[in-house]
């Protein structure tokens, strides 16, 4: 079998021309004997590479097709043959072609012989299943050139102006699915810090970061900065939000069940009717936050700070762990803390009107200057409780509550069995 000579077709060649648009949509096709199975494509490729007036976009498409089809050696054969026959640099990569390739996620080098080496720029190897999921989803809803960006979220790729503009468009005007996929890709590739920069630029420019209703379930968003963002109705269950900045964030009716928010800052955040069942809020800062009607059943609030007028009215904290939690000056009117554990909690100046503490355990808890009106401590266990200057204490419900070493300046507690009260003070 005689090898096919790869040369530029001469003027007057009988090979029919191929329109650049058609060439851009067709891959190079060589067989194992390095014989071209489509001479029309071979001629068009040779013409494009040897003609210095060729469109840079066409050259970039030829190079990426060669990479994707596994025909780099055949491409280099065309380049070498042309240089040898014409004794000139017939094909030289310019900066614009490099920029176009970078925007498509490729890195290209050219040696002194003119041969090129093309490779993909991927910061890390993604999980195959996740990669396929993202690719299939983006193929339906995202612009074609953004697919490679989502699959390989790389800082070097993102420096391309076109990609930055496209990401900015998604964050400002994209659909919920687009925004969710973008953040998922950043999370998967460990590029949360880059997103933080984009978010800050948006907010600094006076634009709202609207992520309402976005699905971010089970993502690793540790350290993400979403302060001031709108996450109303967002699904974030199982998320890792440790050390996240969620100050002034709107999380109304958001799903944060099972999420980890250790050391997160939720100061002044609005979590009205949010769901945080079994969430981990250890060391979280939630001063002056709105948690009205929020569901925090079985949540871990160890060392969390909910002081300074935090609104917990009608919140559900049943079975929650509030060890060393700061609730000074918090509003707990109508809240439910049945079976909750409050060990070393600060409740000074809090409003406990109509709060339900039935079956709760309160140990080493400071409860001075509290409004107790209609608070229910039925079957609760209270040990080493400080009740100095408690207001409306006699209006609370103490049915079958147990006491031990209570400190109080109240002379009588009409609704509490007197002998039990006296007995507890002498232990």
The pLDDT tens digits of the residues spanning 109-132 come to 777 666 777 766 543 333 444 444
Dihedral through CA 238, CA 242, CA 248, CA 254, nearest 10? 0
Q: Tell me which of 427 and 306 has the higher pLDDT.
A: 306
pTM over 0.75: no
Q: How confident is the model at residue 331 (pLDDT cuts 50, 70, 90)?
A: very high
**Exposure on the CB side of residue 257, measured as CA atoms within 13 A:** 9
Q: How many CA atoms lie within 13 A of 73 on its CB side?
A: 7
pLDDT tens sequence across 340-388: 999 999 999 999 999 999 999 999 999 887 788 899 999 999 999 887 7
Beta carbons within 10 angstroms of residue 70's beta carbon: 11
The reported pLDDT for the residue numbered 337 is: 97
Which band of pLDDT confidence, cut at 50, 70 and 90, is reported for residue 197? confident
pLDDT-based confidence at residue 303 (cuts at 50, 70, 90): very high
Average pLDDT, the chain: 75
> Distance of CA 273 to CAs 162, 253, 295, 328, Å?
40, 5, 7, 22
> In degrees rounded to 5, what are phi and psi of residue 109?
-130, 150
Cα–Cα nearest to 216, from 172, 178, 263, 270: 178
Q: For 255-302, give the secondary structure using H, E and C.
A: ECCCCECCCCECCCCECCCCECCCCECCCCECCCCECCCCECCCCECC
Summarize the confidence of residues 245-268 as an average pLDDT. 97
Element (H, E) at 381: strand 381-383
- What is the predicted pLDDT for the residue at 212? 95
Q: How confident is the model at residue 339 (pLDDT cuts 50, 70, 90)?
A: very high
Percent share of the chain, pLDDT over 70:
63
Calpha distance 341→321 (Å, rounded) = 5
In this predicted structure, the answer to whether residue 246 has a pLDDT above a threshold of 60 is yes
Determine contact, residues 299/317, Cβ cutoff 8 Å.
Answer: yes
Q: Is-contact 270 250, C-beta < 8 A?
A: yes
Predicted confidence (pLDDT) per residue in 49-108, tens digit? 666 666 777 777 777 777 666 666 767 777 776 666 655 555 677 777 776 667 666 677
Residue 394 per-residue DSSP state: G
Q: How far apart (Å, rounded) are the C-alpha atoms in residues 215 and 146? A: 20
In the numeric block, which tokens belong to residue 3? 């090898």
Higher pLDDT, 186 or 223: 223
Return d(Cα 198, Cα 175) in angstroms, integer: 17
**Alpha carbons within 13 A on the beta-carbon side of 141:** 16
307-323 pLDDT, tens digit per residue, is 989 999 999 999 999 99
Residue with tokens 């981990």: 280
Beta bridge partners of 275: 255, 295
DSSP at 421: H
Report residue 27 as tokens: 């891959």
Which band of pLDDT confidence, cut at 50, 70 and 90, is reported for residue 207? confident
Ordered by start, the domain boundaries in the chain are 20-94+111-117, 122-207
* Per-residue confidence (pLDDT) for residue 272, from 0 to 100: 97
């Amino acid at each position: 079998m005689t090898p096919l000579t790869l040369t530029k077709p001469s003027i007057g060649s009988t090979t029919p021309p191929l329109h650049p648009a058609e060439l851009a949509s067709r891959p190079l096709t060589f067989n194992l004997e390095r014989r071209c199975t489509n001479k029309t494509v071979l001629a068009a490729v040779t013409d494009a590479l040897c003609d210095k007036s060729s469109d840079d976009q066409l050259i970039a498409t030829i190079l990426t097709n060669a990479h994707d089809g596994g025909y780099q050696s055949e491409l280099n054969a065309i380049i070498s043959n042309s240089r040898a026959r014409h004794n000139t640099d017939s094909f030289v990569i310019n900066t614009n072609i490099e920029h176009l390739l970078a925007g498509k996620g490729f890195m290209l080098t050219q040696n002194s012989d003119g041969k090129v080496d093309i490779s993909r720029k991927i910061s890390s190897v993604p999980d195959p299943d996740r990669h396929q999921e993202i690719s299939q989803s983006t193929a339906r809803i995202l612009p074609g050139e953004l697919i490679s960006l989502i699959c390989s979220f790389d800082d070097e790729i993102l420096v391309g102006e076109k990609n930055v503009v496209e990401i900015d468009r998604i964050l400002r005007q994209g659909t919920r699915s687009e925004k969710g996929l973008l953040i998922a890709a950043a999370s998967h590739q460990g590029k949360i810090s880059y997103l933080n920069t984009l978010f800050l630029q948006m907010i600094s420019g006076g634009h709202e970061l609207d992520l309402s209703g976005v699905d971010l379930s089970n993502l690793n968003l540790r350290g993400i900065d979403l302060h001031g963002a709108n996450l109303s109705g967002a699904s974030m269950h199982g998320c890792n939000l440790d050390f996240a900045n969620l100050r002034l964030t709107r999380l109304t009716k958001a799903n944060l069940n099972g999420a980890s928010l250790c050391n997160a800052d939720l100061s002044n955040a609005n979590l009205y009717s949010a769901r945080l069942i079994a969430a981990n809020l250890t060391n979280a800062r939630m001063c002056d936050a709105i948690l009205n009607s929020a569901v925090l059943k079985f949540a871990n609030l160890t060392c969390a700070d909910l002081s300074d007028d935090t609104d917990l009215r009608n919140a559900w904290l049943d079975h929650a762990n509030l060890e060393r939690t700061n609730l000074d000056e918090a509003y707990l009117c109508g809240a439910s803390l049945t079976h909750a554990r409050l060990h070393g909690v600060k409740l000074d100046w809090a409003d406990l009107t109509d709060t339900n503490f039935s079956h709760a355990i309160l140990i080493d808890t400071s409860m001075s200057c509290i409004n107790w009106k209609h608070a229910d401590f039925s079957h609760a266990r209270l040990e080493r409780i400080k009740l100095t200057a408690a207001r409306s204490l006699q209006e609370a419900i103490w049915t079958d509550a147990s006491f031990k070493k209570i400190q109080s300046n109240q002379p009588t507690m009409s609704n509490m069995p007197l002998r039990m009260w006296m007995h507890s003070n002498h232990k």
